[in-house]
């Protein structure tokens, strides 16, 4: 074998070795990248599983997931057929992310939430899901399924044109979607249990346990914002006579209808609870004495104007007495003490309303504490 042949073979072997080393480095780098990606995903999964409640779960998805994976936009669509998730979030999270969508089953079907898509960003198809998303280059839209049931869809957006290019692996996306679906289902179930513990079963409104907690929170908020806080006690007039003459089922119907009519005159930010028996209590944040009195009168008139139906075609005239108190808390005061003072003044005003003839609103003098 002459020298030229040996040199050619040696050169070919060196070239092949260089190529193999290059491939090995690429495989090694890919393995390290996958390992790092897996570690990030395990951390996110741990945070999702550990999230206590829907608010915490949303924070992990919209903040932690976005930061850990270098994403530019996050969105989430959730099927909320009974609007219970919306109700839960209104209590925990007054300001929802603009790319969080709650929809019923019909809207979810129309929006094709069950469709899986990974690829280039197309404005006419995807812009509505991502809000201010003009600079996105790639998106992943992954359905959230649990036991064959569609819970929603997770939306991920990036400015990197290669991140969600055609042919990209979807294992981590599908795993993330599975974990997210389980966590959403668990969070909703936990929230249901919490609501069961603070909800009056007859009326569907909150109970006294919940009210006592919110009273302190609302006083603290009123102190911080230096705004008034109104409180109403509402009592059904001569309720014992209703029970004695018509029976407890009719009495229950009167309580439930009274709760419904009170609620119909309140804002979402107001707090309504059944305080005990035929008595209800309302907190009116950021509402002064004059505005609170108007609400109280509307409630009183709505009961007086229309009888309460029972047993199909039966009707029963019902009136209520109301006691109103209003406080403008000073910063730094003991919130629990201020709350107790507010309740006592409203309760004393209610007692005066009942003793002075019922079916009226009595207002205590507004105070600062």
Q: Exactly one of 45, 218, 257, 278 is catalytic; which is it?
A: 278
**Range 221-226 contact pairs with CB under 8 angstroms and sequence separation of 24 or more:** 221/285, 222/285, 222/286, 222/327, 222/328, 222/329, 223/329, 223/330, 223/331, 223/332, 223/333, 223/335, 223/338, 224/331, 225/286, 226/328, 226/331
Terminal-to-terminal C-alpha distance of the chain: 106
Task: Report the C-alpha gap between 238 and 221 in whole angstroms.
Answer: 36
The number of beta carbons lying within 10 Å of the beta carbon of residue 319 is 14
CA distance 326 to 293: 10
Q: Please state, in angstroms and rounded to a whole number, the distance separating the CA atoms of residues 277 and 299.
A: 18
Q: Are strands 320-328 and 361-363 parallel, antiparallel or unpaired?
A: parallel
**What contacts 255, CB < 8 A, 6 or more positions away?**
202, 203, 236, 274, 278
Q: Taking the CA atoms of the chain, what radius of gyration do you get in angstroms? A: 31
- Name 316's bridge partners: 308
Q: Decide: 87 and 102 in contact? Cβ < 8 Å.
A: no
| Beta bridge partner(s), residue 184 | none
Quick check: 144 and 150 in contact, CB under 8 A? Answer: yes
Active site residue 279: no
Residue in the structure block whose two tokens are 């005061």? 333
What the block records as the tokens of 59 is 């924070």
- Residues carrying an active site annotation: 278
């Amino acid at each position: 074998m002459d020298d030229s042949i040996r040199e050619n073979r040696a050169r070919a072997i060196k070239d092949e070795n260089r190529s193999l080393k290059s491939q090995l480095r690429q495989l090694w780098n890919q393995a390290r990248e996958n390992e790092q990606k897996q570690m990030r995903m395990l951390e996110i999964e741990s945070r999702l599983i550990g999230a206590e409640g829907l608010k915490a779960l949303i924070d992990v998805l919209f903040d932690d997931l976005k930061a850990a994976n270098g994403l530019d936009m996050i969105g989430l669509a959730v099927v909320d057929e009974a609007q219970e998730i919306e109700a839960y979030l209104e209590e925990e999270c007054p300001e929802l992310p603009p790319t969080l969508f709650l929809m019923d089953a019909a809207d979810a079907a129309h929006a094709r939430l069950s469709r899986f898509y990974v690829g280039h960003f197309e404005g006419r198809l995807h812009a509505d899901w991502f809000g201010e998303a003009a600079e996105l280059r790639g998106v992943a839209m992954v359905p959230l399924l649990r036991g064959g049931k569609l819970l929603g869809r997770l939306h991920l957006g990036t400015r990197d044109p290669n991140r969600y290019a055609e042919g990209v692996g979807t294992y981590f996306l599908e795993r993330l979607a599975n974990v997210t679906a389980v966590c959403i289902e668990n969070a909703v179930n936990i929230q249901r249990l919490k609501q069961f513990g603070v909800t009056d079963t007859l009326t569907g409104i909150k109970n006294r346990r919940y009210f006592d907690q919110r009273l302190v929170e609302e006083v603290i908020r009123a102190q911080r914002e230096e705004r008034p806080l109104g409180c109403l006690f509402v009592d059904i007039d001569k309720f014992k006579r209703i029970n004695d003459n018509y029976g407890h089922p009719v009495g229950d119907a009167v309580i439930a209808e009274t709760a419904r009519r009170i609620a119909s005159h309140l804002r979402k930010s107001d707090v309504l609870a059944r305080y005990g028996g035929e008595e209800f209590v309302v907190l009116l944040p950021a509402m002064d004495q004059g505005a609170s009195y108007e609400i109280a009168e509307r409630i009183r008139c709505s009961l007086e104007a229309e009888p309460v139906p029972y047993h199909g075609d039966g009707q029963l005239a019902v009136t209520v007495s109301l006691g109103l108190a209003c406080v403008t808390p000073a910063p730094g005061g003991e919130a629990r003490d201020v709350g107790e003072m507010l309740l006592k003044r409203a309760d004393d005003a209610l007692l005066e309303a009942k003793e002075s003839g019922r079916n009226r609103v009595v207002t205590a003098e507004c105070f600062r504490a």
